[in-house]
């Protein structure tokens, strides 16, 4: 069998290049492989978060369960505004104050949260000894900005929302983190910092936890998050991470689908999770 001339090119990209052909169409193997990837992504969007199992996975951390005003997935997908508002019935469950609140939100991939939030949260809590951490809030049908109302109810100085990112064909279980100083309804996306691409083939739990703890520490010191905290070049973050014991950090450029397709470095708001 002759060597595949595409092999060295395939090593350089995950793009679907060099597909075999019959007539104008790609081969059936390529078609089915694409369909499986799309099916997995759609399953990730439509799978419900198993909140009880998630609470068990992060035990013994105290947990509060809340939901947004989007009653189901179909509404959630059409009405991002409802996913940003807390169901009033849940408000009384949230009491404070605390320094840092963690919200585990299903977002567009419940499996990302189910899979990666427990070990990532553990890595963060291990690094945040001495900080006053609020009860861990598990939120369903939730968008990033739901953390503003939750954080305000908890009287939190900082709110970290761990949320399932919009699934792609290559990764359906990517976790993102959004950090907001003095969370309250009306905060703009430019007032948050984001860490993205936490999954098996992306940013490791330890690397992401180092970045988040650096952001938390700096946010508390400078009393802000967002563009003002964002290093234009990422140099501060690189310096912070190079001093980290976890050196296998891969500083991959951000890759978020934006309505505008000019994705800036270390700045985003629109992966799907507005």
Partner 1 sequence: MPTYTSNFQGERHRFTGLTDLLAKASPRRSGDELAGLAAATDAQRVAARSVLADLPLTVFLNEALVPYETDEVTRLILDSHDTAAFAPVAHLTVGGLRDWLLSYDATPERLSVLAPGLTPEMVAAVSKLMRNQDLISVASRCRVVTAFRNTQGLPGRLGSRLQPNHPTDDPRGIGAAIIDGLLLGCGDAVIGINPAADSVAGGIALLEMLETLRLRHDIPAQSCVLAHVTNTLEMIRRGAPVDLVFQSIAGTEAANNGFGVNLSILREARDAALSLKRGTVGTNVMYFETGQGAALSADAHHGIDQQTVEARAYAVARAFSPLLVNTVVGFIGPEYLYDGKQIIRAGLEDHFCGKLLGVPMGVDVCYTNHAEADQDDMDSLMTLLTVAGVNFLIAVPGADDVMLNYQSASFHDMLYLRTQFGLQAAPEFESWLERMDLKDRAGRIGAQPPALLSLPGWEAPDAA
Q: Which residues bind partner 1 (CB under 8 A)?
A: 3, 5, 8-10, 12-19, 21, 23-26, 30, 34-35, 37-38, 41-42, 44-45, 77-81, 108, 166-170, 252-255, 257, 259-265, 270, 272, 274
The H or E element spanning position 179 is strand 175-181
Q: How far apart are CA 268 and CA 249, in angstroms?
A: 20
Place of tokens 């790609």: 26
Q: Closest separation between CB of residue 241 and partner 1, Å? A: 17
Q: Closest separation between CB of residue 204 and partner 1, Å? A: 17
Q: How far apart are CA 160 and CA 266, in angstroms?
A: 17
CB nearer partner 1, residue 36 or residue 52: 36
| 128 bridge partner residues | none
Residue 61 DSSP code: S
CB nearer partner 1, residue 13 or residue 129: 13
**Quick check: 219 and 182 in contact, CB under 8 A?**
no
Q: Closest separation between CB of residue 140 and partner 1, Å? A: 16
CB nearer partner 1, residue 21 or residue 221: 21
Q: Closest separation between CB of residue 117 and partner 1, Å? A: 20
Q: Closest separation between CB of residue 163 and partner 1, Å? A: 14
**Quick check: 81 and 68 in contact, CB under 8 A?**
no
Q: How far apart are CA 204 and CA 224, in angstroms?
A: 26
Q: Taking the mean position of all CA atoms in its chain, how far away is CA 167?
A: 11
Q: How far apart are CA 51 and CA 114, in angstroms?
A: 8
CB nearer partner 1, residue 42 or residue 93: 42
* Helix-helix angle 110-127:205-222, to 10 degrees: 60
Q: How far apart are CA 241 and CA 235, in angstroms?
A: 10
Q: Closest separation between CB of residue 118 and partner 1, Å? A: 24
CB nearer partner 1, residue 81 or residue 126: 81
CB nearer partner 1, residue 97 or residue 185: 185
CB nearer partner 1, residue 10 or residue 93: 10
């Amino acid at each position: 069998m002759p060597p595949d001339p595409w092999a060295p090119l395939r090593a350089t990209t995950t793009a679907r290049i060099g597909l075999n052909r019959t007539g104008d169409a790609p081969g059936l193997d390529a078609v089915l492989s694409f369909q499986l990837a799309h099916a997995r992504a759609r399953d990730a969007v439509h799978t419900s978060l198993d909140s009880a199992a998630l609470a068990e996975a992060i035990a013994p951390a105290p947990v509060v369960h809340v939901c947004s005003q989007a009653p189901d997935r179909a509404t959630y997908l059409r009405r991002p505004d409802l996913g940003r508002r807390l169901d009033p019935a849940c408000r009384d469950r949230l009491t404070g104050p605390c320094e840092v609140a963690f919200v585990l939100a299903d977002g567009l991939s419940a499996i990302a949260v189910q899979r990666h939030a427990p070990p990532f949260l553990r890595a963060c809590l291990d690094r945040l000894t001495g900080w006053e951490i609020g009860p861990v809030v598990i939120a369903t049908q939730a968008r990033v900005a739901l953390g503003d109302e939750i954080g305000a109810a908890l009287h939190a100085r900082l709110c970290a929302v761990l949320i399932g990112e919009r699934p792609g064909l290559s990764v359906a279980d990517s976790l993102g983190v959004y950090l907001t100083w003095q969370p309250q309804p009306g905060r703009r996306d430019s007032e948050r910092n984001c860490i993205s691409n936490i999954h098996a083939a992306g940013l490791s739990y330890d690397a992401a936890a180092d970045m988040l703890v650096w952001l938390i520490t700096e946010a508390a010191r400078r009393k802000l998050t967002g563009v003002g905290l964002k290093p234009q070049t990422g140099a501060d973050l690189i310096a912070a991470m190079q001093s980290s014991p976890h050196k296998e950090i891969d500083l991959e450029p951000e890759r978020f689908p934006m309505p505008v397709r000019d994705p800036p470095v270390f700045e985003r708001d629109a992966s799907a999770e507005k």
